[in-house]
């Protein structure tokens, strides 16, 4: 059951989809944090060592009996040498650790508790890549709000999310943790998750601090190998990779995590360009920057820092405020300040940012406000949370193919097969927070059995295939994006036996499904759908939920096509003529993807009219034809009629793309600039309008200024990036 909260923000989401800037140079400004006078008072009292302590982040552990502290860490807290902890949760445990920090240290500064709450805390939602395929911005925000409420009730105040990394690299395991390939969609999602975590008041006991990661361009590792080098032009970086980070900052995010990769030859953990020039100076960010796990001392292996002391010096001077697990700041920062290699003013700058966040969270007022065991019991894995998780999981699934097999009929005999059919563990995916397999009520097989007789001899087969959950996520890169060969052979064997086969996929990356698409009668991309995923799959298979998901990332026909994405450029020899040799093409594979960005089928069908652009026109230079015109800072409206031509109600995501035909630098063949989700009854027709303004046409021009250029444009509207109808207009200054 969707909470009433969602309906209050639908109007905002639709407006944002229709006209929000892509995030490269948003009109919004980074959230300003209130300076707390108690922070200055604390800074005056703190020794140099105590200041350094606030920049140190260590971890707790988890044993079979619950959370525990590593040897020596509790003493570090008592001595003021550690100001934050990750992986410590439960209300009782965090209360005791907080008691030590507040009551057994000289200044009584509370600890900040953080955790990887990525796609849910106890109630686990679909993996982030799956979430993004819902294109449902209010629902994504609601999932973060529920996660924040559960996490805050367990003593946490900080999550290392949203992950804002755009990626067109399916070999990279952490593509599962992001929102796909598109900077526009990714920006809306990162802002929504930030709002969901932080709410409208960070001091409330059901909100937590968001952390924008990984800054920056972590999603573009060479060869798809995690932690690897990233290298791209400043123009491409700013236009296609940077916008989602900026959108999260503009939405109010007050912490940022540096990325493991290097960019332009400099490890991000020591990049003055990223952390000072862009984040703090250009964007006005007033929160704090934290390293990734041991990211500071890893610069030694990068070949950028000579030793741990040098690494600490480089990071602090570049604007990195908090050290996660390197211990480089704890071991060396005091001496670096005394020697003058790091100024005390620079250290004070970092400590002030950290303390202001602790104040904003209300920790200086009540350090135990997040440590309430009764609230933890009441707000965790509630029936309402699970009901939302079930609906959201179904919304996130993408029907890739359907030869009339789905939906299944209730009561007919179905065989449920495949290595992923009976698993509950794989439903949760990677980065499952504090989610537990014991809380998963049903596997896919269990859920189907509750609806339909399951018989080995049935002619219809639900075949559940995919990747084991630990094949995706951090340090889970693959050189192949195929299913395990034995899974494909099982599908082929069933088809040879004359079976009708509907494949359900559990996976965390785009896969090469060229063989599976040839043999399967239907393919439902379910991702890793979370705690209620088994039931959600059954809801979709039997038509209780009409699938509405759309791909947020391109599925290639072959790994050799990678990187493949919808906003590619045309080249000087685009592939136009089927028999031409000297055009940009492959000898052994079509250029087109197997399943394009924005693709997703339904149990009904939708028909689009040609787009119409009403209003004034002008003559196209050199022709006698007229074109609609957008002038200066004005607006232009494009309208399309969408009709449900099927027999059941369905939800369609109407997608708007724009192409700038000629620019001072070459432009992509299509760029997503808006979308609207609409639900239509059978036979219902609705007009959908989008408003185009000059900001939607803007880009980094040849001189790296941001803005539009006059000329001719195409606008495309449809149900997928490769299934659109087009119109044209001109922009005049």
| Residue positions annotated with a catalytic role | 292
Give dist(CA 140, CA 566) in Å, integer. Answer: 23
d(CA 18, CA 659): 16
Cis peptide before 515 (omega within 30 of 0): no
Closest by alpha carbon to 347, among 369, 321, 365?
A: 321
CA proximity to 360, closest of 292, 288, 289, 291: 288
Angle formed at CA 54 by CA 373 and CA 79, multiple of 5 degrees: 80
Q: How many residues does the chain have?
A: 733
Q: Which residues contact 12 (CB under 8 A, 6 or more apart)?
A: none
- As a whole number of angstroms, the distance between CA 79 and CA 50 comes to 8
Residue 460's DSSP bridge partners are 414, 500
Using the CB atoms, write b or e for 404-415: b if 16+ within 10 Å.
ebbbbeeeeebb
Q: Is the peptide bond before 52 cis (omega within 30 degrees of 0)?
A: no
DSSP 8-state secondary structure symbol assigned to residue 313: H
Is beta strand 61-63 parallel, antiparallel or unpaired with respect to 66-68?
antiparallel
> How far is residue 721 from each of residues 182, 591, 669, 675, measured CA to CA in Å?
12, 15, 11, 12
SS3 category, 402: strand
The Cα–Cα gap between 409 and 413 comes to 9
Token representation of residue 14? 């639709």
CB within 8 A of 336, min separation 6: which ones?
309, 312, 313, 316, 342
CA neighbor of 408 nearest in space, from 495, 526, 521 = 521
Which residue matches tokens 């594979």?
A: 589
Residue 196 CB neighbours (<10 A): 27
Question: For residue 640, how many other CB atoms are within 10 A of its CB?
Answer: 22
* CB-CB contact of 208 with 159 (8 Å): yes
391 with 531: CB under 8 angstroms? Answer: no
The dihedral of CA 712, 717, 721, 724: what is its sign? Answer: negative
**162: preceding bond cis by omega (within 30 degrees):** yes
C-beta separation of 382 from 376 below 8 A: no
Nearest-angstrom CA–CA distance, 97 and 69: 9
């Amino acid at each position: 059951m969707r909470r009433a909260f969602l309906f209050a923000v639908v109007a905002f989401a639709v407006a944002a989809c229709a006209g929000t800037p892509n995030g490269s140079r948003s009109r919004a400004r980074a959230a300003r944090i209130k300076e707390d006078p108690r922070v200055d008072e604390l800074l005056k009292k703190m020794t140099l060592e105590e200041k350094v302590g606030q920049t140190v982040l260590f971890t707790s552990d988890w044993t079979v009996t619950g959370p525990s502290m590593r040897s020596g860490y509790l003493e570090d807290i008592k001595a003021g040498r550690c100001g934050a902890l990750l992986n410590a949760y439960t209300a009782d445990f965090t209360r005791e650790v907080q008691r030590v920090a507040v009551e057994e240290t000289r200044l009584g500064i509370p600890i900040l508790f953080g955790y990887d709450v990525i796609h849910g805390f106890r109630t686990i939602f679909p993996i982030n890549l799956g979430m993004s395929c819902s294109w449902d911005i209010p629902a994504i925000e609601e999932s973060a709000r529920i996660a924040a409420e559960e996490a805050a009730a367990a003593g946490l105040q900080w999550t290392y999310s949203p992950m804002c990394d755009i990626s067109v690299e399916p070999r990279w395991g952490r593509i599962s943790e992001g929102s796909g390939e598109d900077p526009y969609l990714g920006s809306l999602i990162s802002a929504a998750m930030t709002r969901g975590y932080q709410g409208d008041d960070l001091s409330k006991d059901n909100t937590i601090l968001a952390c924008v990661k990984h800054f920056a361009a972590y999603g573009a590792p060479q060869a798809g190998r995690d932690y690897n080098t990233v290298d791209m032009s400043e123009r491409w970086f700013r236009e296609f990779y940077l916008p989602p980070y900026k959108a999260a900052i503009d939405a109010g995010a007050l912490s940022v995590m540096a990325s493991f990769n290097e960019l332009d030859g400099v490890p991000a953990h020591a990049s003055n360009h990223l952390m000072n020039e862009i984040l703090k100076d250009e964007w006005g960010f007033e929160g704090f920057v934290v390293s990734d796990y041991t990211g500071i001392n890893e610069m030694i292996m990068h070949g950028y820092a000579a030793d741990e002391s040098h690494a600490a010096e480089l990071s602090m001077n570049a604007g990195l405020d908090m050290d996660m697990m390197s211990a480089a700041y704890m071991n060396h920062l005091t001496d670096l300040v005394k020697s003058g290699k790091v100024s005390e003013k620079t250290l004070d700058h970092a400590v002030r940012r950290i303390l202001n966040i602790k104040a904003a969270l209300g920790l200086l007022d009540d350090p135990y406000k997040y440590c309430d065991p009764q609230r933890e019991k009441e707000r965790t894995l509630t029936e309402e949370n699970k009901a939302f998780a079930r609906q959201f999981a179904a919304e996130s699934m993408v029907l890739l193919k359907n030869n009339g097999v789905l939906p299944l009929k209730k009561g007919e005999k179905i065989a449920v097969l495949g290595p992923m059919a009976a698993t509950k563990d794989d439903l949760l995916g990677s980065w499952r927070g504090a989610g537990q397999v014991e809380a998963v009520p049903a596997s896919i097989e269990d859920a189907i059995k509750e609806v339909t007789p399951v018989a080995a001899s049935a002619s219809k087969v639900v075949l559940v295939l995919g990747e084991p959950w630990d094949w995706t996520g951090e340090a889970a890169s693959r050189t192949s994006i195929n299913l395990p060969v034995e899974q494909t052979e099982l599908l082929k064997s069933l088809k040879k036996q004359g079976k009708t086969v509907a494949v359900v996929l559990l996976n965390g990356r785009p896969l090469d499904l060229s063989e599976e698409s040839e043999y399967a009668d239907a393919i439902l991309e379910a991702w890793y759908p979370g705690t209620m995923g088994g039931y959600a799959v059954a809801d979709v298979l039997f038509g209780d939920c009409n699938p509405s998901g759309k791909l947020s990332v391109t599925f290639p026909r072959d790994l050799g096509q990678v990187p493949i994405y919808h906003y590619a450029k045309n080249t000087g020899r685009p592939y136009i003529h089927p028999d031409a040799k000297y055009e940009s093409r492959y000898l052994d594979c079509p250029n087109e993807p197997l399943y394009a960005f924005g693709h997703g089928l339904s149990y009904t069908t939708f028909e689009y009219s040609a787009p119409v652009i009403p209003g004034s026109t002008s003559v196209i230079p050199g022709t006698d034809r007229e074109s609609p015109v957008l002038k200066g800072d004005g607006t232009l409206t494009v309208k399309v009629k969408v009709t449900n031509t099927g027999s059941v109600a369905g939800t369609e995501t109407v997608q708007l793309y724009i192409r700038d035909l000629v620019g001072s630098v070459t432009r992509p063949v299509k760029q997503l600039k808006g979308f609207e989700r609409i639900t239509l009854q059978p036979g219902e027709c609705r007009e959908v309008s989008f408003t185009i303004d000059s900001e939607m046409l803007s880009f980094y021009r040849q001189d790296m200024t941001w803005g539009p250029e006059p000329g001719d444009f195409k606008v495309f509207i449809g149900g997928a990036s490769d299934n659109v109808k087009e119109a044209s207009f001109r922009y005049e200054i």
